[in-house]
Structure 1
Amino acid sequence: MSEGSVRKIIHLDMDAFYASVEQRDHPELRGRPVAVGGARERGVVAAASYEARAFGVRSAMPSATALRKCPELVFVPPRFAVYKEASRQIRAIFAEYTPLIEPVSLDEAYLDVTHNLKAIASATQIAHEIRAKIFAETNLTASAGISYNKFLAKLASDFRKPNGQFVVRPAQGLAFVAGLAVGQFHGVGPVTAAKMNRLGIFSGADLREQTAEFLQQQFGKAGHYYHAIARAQDHRPVVADRLRKSVGSETTFAQDLVLLPDLLAGLQPAIAEVWDYCQRTGTRGRTVTVKVKFADFQQITRSRSGAGPVPSLAAMHRIGCELIEALFPLAQGVRLLGLTLSNLSQGQPEAGQQLALDL
C-alpha cells in the first residue's frame, strides 16, 4: 500500500466461525459436515462448516432444505456465550495493533491500520501477524482482505478463503472491480443482481458504464452506492464502537418465501445477529421492527415498542415472530426479511432478568 493520504484497511473474517468453534471443541465433528442451528421443523442453519458448504448448505437456509442437500449433516445447537468469548479474544488481538476497530458481527471486523500502534508500514504484514496470533491463541483460522477502502477490503477477504489473505493495491482497484460479477459485490443481493443482469449489467465493467442518473432511476438511493463502487470508490471511514441509534440485520433469499414456517425460519439469522451485537456491547433497545420486501420490491415495516428494553433473546424472538405472523395471509412471496432494534440504551437488564441464549 502506498504512503500518504491512502488509507490501509483490513477486513478480518473468521472462517465458518460458529461451526469452526464447534469442530475445535468437539474433535469428533472435525472433517464432518456440521450445521449450527436447529434440526426441528422450523429450524434454520445459523452457520455451516466448509464440509457442509461443499453440499450447498448455507447460513439462513431452512434446516429441512439443508438435510435434503446433505443427509449426513450433523446439527449442533448454538452456544453464543462460547462464540462471544472467542470473539473477545480475537478483538483483544486487534486492539494490539489499532484502536480503530469496527466490528460487523462476532466474526468479522474492519481495522484501519494506516497509523497503527506498532508502526508497521505494511498492512499485509499486520494482517499476517493478526491471523497467526488468532490461530495461536484460539486454534481458529481467519481470512483477511487488505486494501485502501472498506468495500475492496471486504471483497478481498473472500478471495483466499479459508485461512488466507489477499491485497488489492490502489493501482489495482479499478481492474479488480471490473473483472467481478455484480453478484459478488457486497450490498448487491441475488434479486438486485438478477435485475442488473436483465438490464445487461453482468460485471463491474458493465456497471461502470452506467450513469449515476440511470442507476438512481433503476435502484433508488442505492444507485449512488453502485455508481461509486463500480469505480472502486468508498469513502466510509472505519468507525470504532459507539452507541448506535439502531442495530439491524437482514437476509435476501434466492427464492421467494410464502409459507409461515419458512418466513419464521428465515428471520432467525437476523434475530441472532442483532442479539449478538446486544450481548457484545451491553446495548439494549425498546423497539423491535421487522422489515419485509415482497417479490415486487414493495417494502413494509412492522414495529412494536415496550415500556422497557427487550430483556432476552427469547423475548426478541417472540416479538419478531408475532410481527411476521400478523402479516398472514400473504398476497405474494417474500424476497427479504430483516429485524432492527432501536430506542437503544447502554447497560444490562435489571437484576433478576434472565438473558436467554438458546434459539
Structure 2
Amino acid sequence: MKKFLHLDIDAFFASVEQLDNPQLRGKPVIVGGRDNRGVVATCSYEARKFGVRSAMPIALAKKKCPNGIYLPVRYARYEEKSAEIQAVYKEYSPLYQTVGLDEAYLEVTHYADAVPIAKEIKRRIQAECGLTCSIGLSYNMSLAKIASDLKKPDSFVIIRPDESKEVLRGLSIGAIHGIGKKSQEMLEKRGITTVEQFWELSLDEVVKLFGKYGQSLYDRVRGVDNREIVMDRSIKSISRETTLSFDLFEKEQILQVAADLLVELEEDLHNQLPDHDAQTLTLKIKYSDFTNRSKQRKRQSQEGWRGLLEELLDEVDVTNGVRLVGVGFSAFVDRNEQKAEQVRYEQLSLFPFLK
C-alpha cells in the first residue's frame, strides 16, 4: 500500500511576517494590503479568531478585526522562504508535487515507517526555516490532505485504512478537495452538508451534478483516490493584478497602472521561466460593480507588449469605473527549442539548391 504526506505551512504569508518581525507574534496579522478595496491573502490564527478569512474583502476584515495589523503582500520574500522549505522536504523523496508556495505532496512508500520521516520534516522546517507546518499521512493524496487540515496549526495526523470511513463520516462536505464554495451552496440547497449525507447519492446522481468530475468525487468521499504524484507541473500562465485605491475612469490612467504591472510581469517571466517566451497577453478588468472583463491576444512576431496592451485596453469600456487591473502571460514556448527548429527549417530550405 502506498504512503503519501501532505505538508501545509501554517498561515504562510502571515507566519513569514511574524518571523521577520517578532513583535508581530501572537497578534492578529492580516496580509493583503492596508487599502479597504483589497482582499485578504492570508491571516494569522490570531486574526481567524475574529472571523477573518482568506479572500475576504479588507473592508470586511477591518470590521471584524479593527485592531488587526494589516500588511502588504511581499511575494519575493515568500518565494525565498518557500525555496528553503522545498530544499528540506526534497531530501526525503524523489517523488514530490508542489502546490503553490506553501503546500506539497510527497510519496514516501519507500520508507518502512513514514511516521518518523514526517516528524523529522516538521522538526527541520521549524528549526531551519523558522515556520511551523501541519502534515497529514495516509494511503492516498486526498486523505493525506484531509489529515493535514484536521488539527491545524502545527499538527501531524495519520489516517489509516481502517480509520478512513469514520474520519470521513464526520466531515463537512467542504472538506473534500474539489468541492468548492459554489458546489457547497448547490449541495446545501439539496440538504447535503456532510460527507455522510453525500454518501446517499448514487454514482449517476453525482455525475449528473458534477459532470465528468463526478466519478472522482464519488470515489474520494469513500476514501478512494488513485492519483499519483505529478512531478512535471509546468507553468501554464503567470499574472499580476492590483486593486485600485479608487475607481478610475480614464484609459490613460488605467494604461499606466497596467503598464507598471507589465514591467513586473516581464521580470516574473524572466525569473520563473528564464528560457521561455510568452506568446499571449491577457488584460483583466474588474469594474466598480465587481463584474469582470478580460481580453486576450497572441503577439505577432516582434510586436511589443506595451503596444499590444494598449490595443487590448482600447477594446474595453471603462466608463463605469475600474476598481482592479490585471495583466497575464500564457502560451509559453522554449526559446532553445525555437532556435533548434529554426535551424532545422533553414537546413531543409537549402535542399532545392543542392540538386
TM-score past 0.5 threshold: yes
2:345 aligns with none
For 1:25, give the aligned amino acid.
D
- Residue 60 to residue 341, structure 1, CA distance change in 2 (3 Å): farther
1:61 aligns with 2:52: no
1:88 aligns with 2:79: no
1:187 aligns with 2:175: no
Give the drift of 1:240: 1.5
Give the drift of 1:43: 1.7
Taking CA–CA contacts closer than 8 Å with sequence separation of 6 or more, which of the two structures ends up with the larger relative contact order? 1
1:147 aligns with 2:142: no
The whole-number CA distance in structure 1 between the counterparts of 2:56 and 2:162 is 39
- Residue 220 to residue 83, structure 1, CA distance change in 2 (3 Å): same
| Rg larger in structure | 2
2:148 aligns with 157
Contact 1:9 1:150 in 2 (8 A): yes
Give the drift of 1:11: 0.4
For 2:330, give the aligned amino acid.
S
Give the drift of 1:301: 7.7
Percent identity for Structure 1 against Structure 2: 41
Contact 2:280 2:297 in 1 (8 A): yes
For 2:220, give the aligned amino acid.
I
For 1:170, give the aligned amino acid.
P
The whole-number CA distance in structure 1 between the counterparts of 2:148 and 2:327 is 26
1:7 aligns with 2
1:110 aligns with 105
Contact 2:282 2:329 in 1 (8 A): yes
Task: For 1:318-337, list aligned pairs within 5 A.
Answer: none
1:287 aligns with 280
Find 2:116's aligned residue among 120, 125, 129.
125
1:77 aligns with 72
Contact 1:86 1:138 in 2 (8 A): yes
1:343 aligns with 2:331: yes
2:347 aligns with none
1:174 aligns with 165
Contact 2:237 2:331 in 1 (8 A): no
Give the drift of 1:341: 5.5
Contact 2:176 2:221 in 1 (8 A): no
Give the drift of 1:326: 5.7
Contact 1:101 1:241 in 2 (8 A): no
Contact 2:283 2:313 in 1 (8 A): no
Deviation sequence 1:212-232 (CA, Å, 0-9, x none): 211121222232222111221
The whole-number CA distance in structure 2 between the counterparts of 1:73 and 1:202 is 32
Tell me the number of residue pairs that the alignment of Structure 1 and Structure 2 aligns.
299
The whole-number CA distance in structure 1 between the counterparts of 2:283 and 2:171 is 32
| SS, match of residue 94 in structure 2 | coil
Give the drift of 1:107: 0.5
| Greater percentage in helix | 2
1:209 aligns with 2:204: no
> What TM-score does the superposition give when structure 2 sets the normalisation length?
0.72
- Residue 12 to residue 284, structure 1, CA distance change in 2 (3 Å): farther
Give the drift of 1:344: 2.4
| SS, match of residue 171 in structure 1 | coil
1:51 aligns with 2:57: no
Contact 1:48 1:57 in 2 (8 A): yes
Deviation sequence 1:287-330 (CA, Å, 0-9, x none): 366999xxxxxx99854444589x99xx9xx99x979x76997x
The whole-number CA distance in structure 1 between the counterparts of 2:142 and 2:237 is 20
Unaligned 5+ segments in structure 1 are: 1-5, 250-259, 262-271, 293-298, 330-337, 348-359
- Residue 131 to residue 60, structure 1, CA distance change in 2 (3 Å): same
- Residue 36 to residue 165, structure 1, CA distance change in 2 (3 Å): same
How big is the alpha-carbon RMSD for the aligned residues of Structure 1 and Structure 2? 3.9
The whole-number CA distance in structure 2 between the counterparts of 1:99 and 1:123 is 15
Contact 1:145 1:157 in 2 (8 A): yes
- Residue 108 to residue 222, structure 1, CA distance change in 2 (3 Å): same
Contact 2:30 2:40 in 1 (8 A): yes
For 2:68, give the aligned amino acid.
L
